[in-house]
Copies of this chain bind each other. A is one copy, B any other.
Amino acid sequence: MSDNDCRATLMTIATPLFAQKGFHGVSVRELAKAADMNLSMISYYFGGKEALYTAVLNEQFATLGQVAEIKSLALDPLGKFERYIHSTVERYRKNPYLLRFYTSELTNPTPSFELIVKPAIGRVLLVLHQIFTEGVAAGQFRRELDPMDTILALAGMINFYFLLEPVTKELVNHAPERDEVLVKHLMDIFTRGVAVSIDS
């Protein structure tokens, strides 16, 4: 197996294990066994368990970079927010373990939190904040709204929906076929919530 195959295999195998059990919940023995490799390969290819975890986390959070591209799309602010929600759903579908790393690092931070997670989330919030400011300037959103409270509310709606999946599995249909409907519902609530009223 080539260098790169081994590294990639280890990361692919490690991703769901770290995501589901947390950094301290997985041992190098378990990782090596799952990847069908000798446990010394983790040190050989990455330098240790923590370095493997950092590599996985970096890969996961790199996908958040797409959010910045929304800023420069040819859409009005509401359209950009819809794109944010839509792309967030899509990202969680393509990347079923991202949210677990996200919340795990927020709740039980490792040294990677300050280096990787916090800056990545910060950049997303910055983009959302800029979109909101744009919408206020365009007279689309109510001026009296607090920008940060508002964009955190938007981000909370969609992220919490996925975070609660282990609890709501039997209560709501989490099939990807319903994603478009979900996006529509959340945008419906958010749009009416923040838009300037017709009679003002």
Residues of A in contact with B (beta carbons under 8 Å apart):
19-22, 24-25, 99-100, 103-104, 106-109, 113, 117-118, 121-122, 125, 145-146, 148-150, 152-153, 155-161, 163-164, 166-168, 171-172, 181-182, 185-186, 188-194
Contacts and interface: CB of A to CB of B under 8 A. Distances in A.
Nearest to A181: B146
A104 B25 CA distance: 12
A96 to B, nearest CB: 13
Contacts of A121: 164, 167
- Interface centre among A122, A152, A188, by most chain B C-beta atoms within 10 angstroms, is A152
6 contacts: A103-B106, A125-B171, A149-B161, A149-B186, A150-B185, A153-B185
A194 B189 contact: yes
Given A148-B171, A189-B145, A107 B109 contact: no
A185 B145 contact: yes
Contacts of A108: 20-22, 25, 100, 104
Nearest to A158: B156
A172 B153 CA distance: 13
Contact of A193 (B107, B146, B189): B189
